[in-house]
Chain A
Amino acid sequence: MCSRFPVELLLAGTLLAGCYKASPPAAPFEQSNRQGAIDSAFSPGSDHSVVVNDPRAAAYYDNAEAVNTGRILFGQFNCSGCHSNGGGGIGPSLMDDEWIYGGRLEQIHQTIVEGRPNGMPSWGGRIPDQQIWQIATYVRSMSLPQTLAAQNGPTPSQSPAPVPAAADQTNGWSLPPQTTNDYTTTTKGPD
């Protein structure tokens, strides 16, 4: 066992998950009954300088309920429709080590709120802010070593680890020292 901490953390997560009770999230928008062309309330986001520090993020670190609720909301608000289970599709992958608009928890929250110009809708005002934080927490968890290590089979991000506050203690998105989430620096050719 390489270190006690992650085990303890995982154990804590398990215990928390045991008594964790998902508050039912707000129902996604009702099916439209309108005829003809429907104009979406979504507007594309714009390029924007990313936040560096948002004190509201603090409550979502080391928070098993946030990451588990976030996982459910990620599906219910169709985030998974574009980002799959973190591997991407219409939208980019969220489980790797590349972040276009910043990978810190508050930066992910900001991206969901504002939207981004290549097709990410702006969800601010469409999803309660607490739920956006929960979704952001789940997204931040996807690239954590513990979450990746927990992948069993072809579907990742099913057992998301709580996001340790230490994960965002350095500037920008980072992994803990001497861990890796790098599958792109070296790609080997066919056998």
Chain B
Amino acid sequence: MSMLLRHWSLCLIPLAAIAQTVPAPVPENEVFKREEIGHALAAPTPDAGHTAPSAANAPKDDGQWTMPSKNYASTRFSALNEITPANAHLLQPLFSFSLGVNKGQEAAPIVADNTIYIVTAYPNIVYALDLTKPGAPLKWKFAPKPARASQGVACCDVVNRGGTVDAGKYIFTTLDGQVIAIDVKTGAAAWRTQLGNINVGETMTMAPTVADGKVYVGNSGGELGVRGWVIALDEASGKMLWRAYATGPDADVLIGTQFKPFYASDQGKDLGVTSWPAQAWKIGGGGMWGWITYDAELGMLYHGTANPGPWNATQRPGDNKWTAGIFARDPNSGQAHWFYGMSPHDEHDYDGINEQILLDMPFGGKMRKVLVHLDRNGYVYVIDRTNGQVLSADPFGPVNSSKGIDLQSGRPIINPDKETQLGQTVRNICPTASGSKDWNPSSFSPQTGLIYIPHENMCMDWMSMQVSYIEGTPYVGAEVHMKPGPGGNRGELTAWDPVQRKPVWVVKEDFPVWSGTVVTGGDLVFYGSMDGWFKAVNAKTGELAWRYKVDSGIISQPVSYRGPDGHQYIAVLSGVGGWSGAVVSGPIDPRDGSAALGMVNVMSDLPKYTTAGGTLYVFSLPR
């Protein structure tokens, strides 16, 4: 043994040299051009009317920011116009507040009755700060103390996407699957309802949608073989009113006589069972961890469904309904009205849970009530929200996993070269698993008519592997290595014209843009970068108007509000993390490119640029 030790001592192996480098970008000629694969049922008719949300879904701005989406239309448009491209260079931090949690902060600060509310990543602490007093002192802090073990079933950092203030309550979810309503006066829980079960891999990370006396929520866990659901709770009591599963028999999915899907492949009985191998629907994913949208004008609810599980698609032949699509439901009964599947039999982890923006928009010579959805699979969908018909679908990022959307069948035209294979690595699939765009929401300005899309420019190599289902553990079955998309910039902010179906300007970012955007009446778009710059750009041109370096990367949702003094303020949380930033916020080794579901391969340099953090920043013009 002493000999062994002696020999060891002779050996110096400089392992620090083994560091991952960010891989080369996918060549430009590997992806399709927008003009090649974008389709619409009719040519643009911009003269047929002005694109804007209805008054019912986007009432006159009261200067508050009571829900993450700002309004039911989900425009994230603040009409405040004190801060403009001309004076933005004067913006300065007014106060900051440490969240005491150094994990990915994805929430929107909520402003109601001159109080600002923040919920942190796990352990989901809620703070209420008094905006009427200097330095915004603490009114109360609420610590829900979620189960520690919930961290072990959260796929992609322990994030939370925010709460909502309504009727004197701040309502939010916890990682261990609770929905909690806090009395904003006392800071005590009015009710707390346990919905998710961490023992089967369920967590909750989404921001509840609160409307018409109900709280709409959904579960996370598509990487752990959960069965997805959306639940409506009574806002006053927290009691469950209805639950709609994303898989299984029609009775469980709340598909009945009102269900009129537009496309033939969605018509039939119990497709949530028959489009799966036997029993696979019970562990088939389809959760709802993104955005549920309430339509006050049409009395409808829209929500996406997440990816099917496992990621290894060879284990689940069939369309795998009703995953990776959008439901329209009756908010009172939960009964489905229509469904549209963006990615039937998803092979690339293209969850359908991104935001829906509700607009009145000219199309085919007349005004249509549309839902604009920016999907992980890379397409901007403009959908007639009265019936679920796709009017146009155009790529907004690099795409080669499909060759466009067939507007007759509604289905993507699959590119066989980029279908994932068992035991074989398929290279340069675009977009990557986290999509051309992930959960972080876009904004829409009725002044410019543009949608400001924060998104990714990333692709991947993928090998599917057989995986066994073990309750409470990951159910993935794929080894993924992500890489930059064409050009090498991993992120973009795109100003998209939904009528003309094309980008008006694009700002390239080195890292994926994982923050939301807010657009203002002063024609500024605010967003944050993962290396910690909080930026304002001109909404008409994309020109940088101002930037400020905060303490950690930004992956949250900025907001704009009117303070007690009548002036405009901008608030944002710093705190890098989430799936894309887990290499900084989690105990992850950048030498493993397959770590964090392959994200580390393309983000291994992030630790050079930022550290974990978690701070509320509020900015204003000089006072």
A is bound by B: yes
Partner-B contacts on A (CB < 8 A): 2-6, 27-29, 31-33, 35, 37-42, 44, 75-78, 81-82, 84-93, 95-96, 98, 117-121, 145, 148-149, 151, 153-157, 164-166, 169, 176-183, 186-190
Which residues, 459 to 479 on B, are CB-close (under 8 Å) to A?
465, 467-476, 479
Distance in angstroms between the alpha carbons of A148 and B20 in the assembled complex = 12
Residues of B in contact with A, size category:
35 or more
For this complex, 28 residue pairs linking A to B, each with C-beta atoms less than 8 Å apart, are: A3-B8, A5-B3, A5-B7, A32-B282, A32-B283, A38-B200, A42-B199, A77-B470, A81-B476, A86-B589, A87-B590, A89-B586, A89-B595, A90-B474, A119-B151, A148-B18, A149-B13, A149-B18, A151-B18, A154-B23, A154-B592, A155-B481, A155-B594, A156-B592, A165-B4, A179-B15, A183-B15, A183-B590
A166: chain B residues at CB < 8 Å are 1, 4-5, 8
Please indicate which of the listed interface residues B18, B465, B582 has the most CB atoms of chain A within 10 Å of its own CB. B18
Query: Quick check: A87 and B470 within 8 Å, CB to CB?
Result: no
- What's the A-B contact tally at a CB cutoff of 8 Å? 220
Distance in angstroms between the alpha carbons of A164 and B152 in the assembled complex = 31
Distance in angstroms between the alpha carbons of A35 and B605 in the assembled complex = 45
B23: chain A residues at CB < 8 Å are 154
B283: chain A residues at CB < 8 Å are 31-32
Query: Quick check: A93 and B587 within 8 Å, CB to CB?
Result: yes
Query: Quick check: B15 and A40 within 8 Å, CB to CB?
Result: no
Min CB gap A160→B, angstroms: 14
Residue of B nearest to A62 (CB): B4
Residue of A nearest to B607 (CB): A187
Whether B96 sits at the interface, judged by CB under 8 Å, is no
Min CB gap A112→B, angstroms: 13
Min CB gap B503→A, angstroms: 28
Query: Quick check: B592 and A93 within 8 Å, CB to CB?
Result: yes
Distance in angstroms between the alpha carbons of A3 and B1 in the assembled complex = 15
Given A87-B595, A89-B596, A176-B8, check contact A82 B473 (CB 8 Å).
yes
B472: chain A residues at CB < 8 Å are 40, 42, 121
B590: chain A residues at CB < 8 Å are 87, 183
Residue of A nearest to B279 (CB): A33
Which residues, 9 to 34 on B, are CB-close (under 8 Å) to A?
9-16, 18-20, 23
B465: chain A residues at CB < 8 Å are 75
Residue of A nearest to B605 (CB): A190
Q: Which 6 A-B pairs have the closest CB atoms?
A: A119-B152, A87-B592, A81-B474, A154-B593, A87-B595, A5-B7
Whether B597 sits at the interface, judged by CB under 8 Å, is yes
List 8 additional A-B contacts (Cβ < 8 Å) besides A44-B149, A84-B596: A38-B471, A42-B472, A85-B592, A89-B596, A92-B587, A118-B151, A121-B473, A165-B1
